[in-house]
Structure 1
């Protein structure tokens, strides 16, 4: 393969930031330049992402974060994934004649965890003030930023929904009644004013930075913000993908006292490396399971562009994603020790044959019998609604007066996506964070606050007895999954990507191409990528695409043909269509350190900064 990359490998000795938006990366570097550390920079970049990528994340969303000080022996998890409301029970949803939790509207809102996660990191690891971190976001919200074409496309697709139903969203995203032009200056002054009120409340509590941060957390979860969300969520009936209007379940009492749990990560050792993920309330362990399985395969004899490599990785992901569905959830009895063991990996590895599997095959760790959701009825409903093989639905026309708004809200391409940010500073401190949720298209804008609530509860099952069955106060099994790796016991690499169920698949490819095949970060990010849809999707309508394999057309024609011969249902996508990875590394060398950063050229949006 040629060594050419679309972007240079950025190297330096002072600091590095990589994210899914160039403005956020620059804001992060600004904090480093001003003397802040990686945690300060990541928080500022995170709040900026809420402004400049409103179709990918927002203040009402979620943000799992991995943090590591240079001297730490492992990272720490700050769980910015909120919990289900107290009134969110299976019986409650069944009483509404729902088999799945809707993917839009107000019913699927959890406690918004992103704000708490960013501020917890700033309080415990940062050095700068809350004002320093929030001011860039306030600036772009009030003074404007060039709106991306992808944001405009999202607004355009839900315009009828906004004008007919979610009128508070129209007030923000359809200025003067029109869809913004790509590249035009776009503002959300209501959100900017809201964050200024948060600052005023925080600074009135005293001059100490930690006192101010605690006051901001209390204002959000125990005060005015919680009360405002309570009034809107319980007092508003919003159209959702069920085709009906529902009020929400999230209340001020659900938010009161909530703070992000601080947890140990999960990890696996791989020679000189250790790779760390969030717990089984995320899909993070699936990457660790995949690494254990592939540890016993002879990957170095195959290039990342070969059919053997693609087949091995794809079949491995099918196995670990079946385990994800059977075993992962916010429960105390997830058999993680067995799932991540080499003995279990050996059992699973033996299931990989020369042809593509079409079955969902969870394992039975510790002798326990796996149980998957009952998807037969769902598969029938997909077929009836035009979702062939778990693909995208063909919208049926109806005579209902809600038709156009319902169709817009049902489009799976508008389910929202995710952001990512990585930071490393000159001292070796490191952050990897994957904020998402609270998308502009997820639910109506709360008019006093300027943002929407998230819909992460759609990931629960309304079937009792599963690892990810809905329960009040439980975290939904999120797809959000930052990654961090240590090398020789020290923080080495922070990386991740948007992409829902594809996040672990694309992150795995970066790790393998970088560590097994020795490709630099930027080249690893740009290596032709692929993913499988042979899994039960985490998002409404929870479809599965058995045997599917989607590859970029930069793979050799011989690879594509051989994969088809192996039985894979191959779809060839555009040249640069798979993954939106970013990464930062800190490598000790010659008595010093070299910092590196890479960002995805796909979509012409993500960017890295280093010096």
Structure 2
């Protein structure tokens, strides 16, 4: 089949990701003797500068990795937690029934720095100054402005000028929106990272000592002090339409650290897929596999109407369980992946599209769905696409809505000047066999006012909490939001095989599943599977402000066979045909048949894979 570029094959190293500068940076690390973990960290920090509308230093990063030395897969959790003052009662006192999608109230502890440092310290070999050097260079001297960066800044220019002057000072150089292709620098961010390196080197002469000192500078030192002061002493208009200060304190930052944990896994047709725990949406990928394990997708034919219908209906069931059961809580994951449970759930997949949200009862437990604010019904029933520019009470919304994602997984500029953000991704495999899949996000330039002393803004991941008691994803101090960030790792025949992932919010564990199934059932190679026509459902509640859903809606790229589209509509799917190259932003690296392989997404003319 036609591919937009070749599947890369070699034996030295491969890097694939959502921006060419990050991929090239990672490869340069491999060329200079660094391993996959060093390369991923260097690339991750470059993504903060090259794609500031999709991630930033104030965001978060979950990471899946394979250590060849340990012969083991690990999860690194770089997802920060809700502040101690972030209670449901506090938000209700402010007259809020959902967490705003922008501003200071939605900030959690910025976990990306800690996550990257933990990866570097435990599995990497390079020093702090070396991995930060490329990001410092690009922040100081500037990067070429992507068309989407320019469009994002243009959409929020008025709001920056009127309400967020610290952001205007950072992102409107000379008082103007930077033109596509122009050079955009962030000298304050460069100075922040230079100071971290200087303090770390002054504190210790060893690699490990310097990394520990860098973490102290971020979570207890000058970075934490600047964040705490900004949160406590300033207030800004957010997507509720009101002006609010922040809740994040120095104690919140000092009390948090990145952690490692065992991945959750599921075996499917000779493959084993590893994901984060259900504090993120990752296991919903595994639930889809558990449902499809009893279905003959091969007999249906890849991308036939039967195939797309069945995969979509399985996704609806799995994501319904996400809504009822997932969060930073005691989640009955063993029951959710149990064969008997999934046999019963599989029987719910009928010949027509379901328009209901149907969570199951794992282990006999009764499901409880979130209730949409201002109603007495679960979020997906009758809500439809939320009205952009109004909050749940119908008040006008000022400023950008940095939560949510468009159908293409790219940030979307909306007619009323709001902007919905997105995410980044990077995958690495080195010549020793180490592998990394990382999905950094949050801290978008449009999500929160820039902290002027640091050159970056805080994240808004707390918008994924529900302001409703008794749910696994209810807002609680010290809890992780149920993030959509979902890197993936897979074994084939018991051997490390594939690191992959995509931006896209709620679509991440649909597009990634579709990609994986294209490899397993479609017989495609990495690039063919990424280039293949993509689809996803918007049936279930969005994880982002203002938390709406679109029951029965199915997005497909127009390259999907028109006869398949017609049959899907006949079966009751509300099919919305998107542009031919509009859905998904996947990248992947693999160890396959004695070679290393890589592929990246052509959509958006931004992703890139490199290797030899």
* TMscore range, shorter length: over 0.9
Correspondence 1:393 to 2:382: no
Deviations 1:543-566 (A, max 9, x none): 010000010000111000000000
Q: Which of the numbers 264, 269, 272 marks the counterpart of 2:270?
A: 272
Which SS does the other structure have where 1:110 is aligned?
coil
Q: Which residue of 2 aligns with 1:610?
A: 611
TM-score normalized by structure 1? Answer: 0.95
Q: Which runs of structure 2 are paired with 1:464-503 in the superposition (5 Å)?
A: 464-503=469-508
Q: Which runs of structure 2 are paired with 1:334-349 in the superposition (5 Å)?
A: 334-349=331-346
TM-score normalized by structure 2? Answer: 0.95
Q: Which residue of 2 aligns with 1:352?
A: 349
CA displacement at 1:261 relative to structure 2: 1.7
Counterpart contact for 1:71–1:490, Cα < 8 Å: no
Deviations 1:83-128 (A, max 9, x none): 0000000000000010000000000000000000001000000011
Q: Which residue of 2 aligns with 1:234?
A: 232
Correspondence 1:120 to 2:118: yes
Cα gap change, 1:477 to 1:100, in 2 (>3 Å): same
Q: Which residue of 2 aligns with 1:367?
A: 364
Q: Which residue of 2 aligns with 1:284?
A: 282
Which SS does the other structure have where 2:457 is aligned?
coil
Q: Which residue of 2 aligns with 1:447?
A: 452
Whole-angstrom distance in 1 between the partners of 2:61 and 2:274: 16
Q: Which residue of 2 aligns with 1:437?
A: 442
Whole-angstrom distance in 1 between the partners of 2:324 and 2:378: 22
Deviations 1:150-190 (A, max 9, x none): 11111010001100010000001100110000010110111
Deviations 1:555-607 (A, max 9, x none): 111000000000001100000111000000012x3xxx201000000000100
Q: Which residue of 1 aligns with 2:599?
A: 598
Correspondence 1:573 to 2:570: no
Which SS does the other structure have where 1:498 is aligned?
coil
Whole-angstrom distance in 2 between the partners of 1:330 and 1:220: 24
Q: Which residue of 1 aligns with 2:51?
A: 53
Cα gap change, 1:432 to 1:165, in 2 (>3 Å): same
Q: Which residue of 1 aligns with 2:430?
A: 425
Aligned residues: 597
Deviations 1:416-456 (A, max 9, x none): 10000000001110000000000000000000100010000
Counterpart contact for 2:59–2:458, Cα < 8 Å: yes
Which SS does the other structure have where 1:77 is aligned?
strand
Which SS does the other structure have where 2:33 is aligned?
coil
Whole-angstrom distance in 2 between the partners of 1:499 and 1:211: 37
CA displacement at 1:235 relative to structure 2: 1.0
Whole-angstrom distance in 2 between the partners of 1:507 and 1:301: 22
CA displacement at 1:392 relative to structure 2: 5.3
Whole-angstrom distance in 2 between the partners of 1:379 and 1:55: 36
CA displacement at 1:415 relative to structure 2: 2.8
Which SS does the other structure have where 1:542 is aligned?
coil
Q: CA RMSD in A?
A: 2.0
Cα gap change, 1:388 to 1:449, in 2 (>3 Å): farther
Q: Which residue of 2 aligns with 1:406?
A: 398
Whole-angstrom distance in 1 between the partners of 2:186 and 2:449: 14
Whole-angstrom distance in 2 between the partners of 1:157 and 1:378: 32
Whole-angstrom distance in 2 between the partners of 1:26 and 1:408: 32
Counterpart contact for 1:74–1:486, Cα < 8 Å: no
Counterpart contact for 2:371–2:377, Cα < 8 Å: no
Whole-angstrom distance in 2 between the partners of 1:577 and 1:306: 20
Q: Which residue of 2 aligns with 1:210?
A: 208
Q: Which residue of 1 aligns with 2:21?
A: 23
Whole-angstrom distance in 2 between the partners of 1:394 and 1:466: 26
Q: Which residue of 1 aligns with 2:416?
A: none
Whole-angstrom distance in 2 between the partners of 1:364 and 1:410: 34
Deviations 1:449-474 (A, max 9, x none): 00010000000000000110011000
Whole-angstrom distance in 2 between the partners of 1:466 and 1:29: 43
Q: Which residue of 1 aligns with 2:32?
A: 34
CA displacement at 1:375 relative to structure 2: 2.4
CA displacement at 1:206 relative to structure 2: 1.6
Whole-angstrom distance in 2 between the partners of 1:11 and 1:44: 23
Counterpart contact for 1:535–1:545, Cα < 8 Å: yes
Which SS does the other structure have where 1:305 is aligned?
coil
Cα gap change, 1:502 to 1:545, in 2 (>3 Å): same
Cα gap change, 1:381 to 1:310, in 2 (>3 Å): closer
Counterpart contact for 1:429–1:491, Cα < 8 Å: no
Q: Which of the numbers 307, 310, 313 marks the counterpart of 1:309?
A: 307
Cα gap change, 1:17 to 1:378, in 2 (>3 Å): farther
CA displacement at 1:257 relative to structure 2: 3.5
Which SS does the other structure have where 1:215 is aligned?
helix
CA displacement at 1:343 relative to structure 2: 1.5
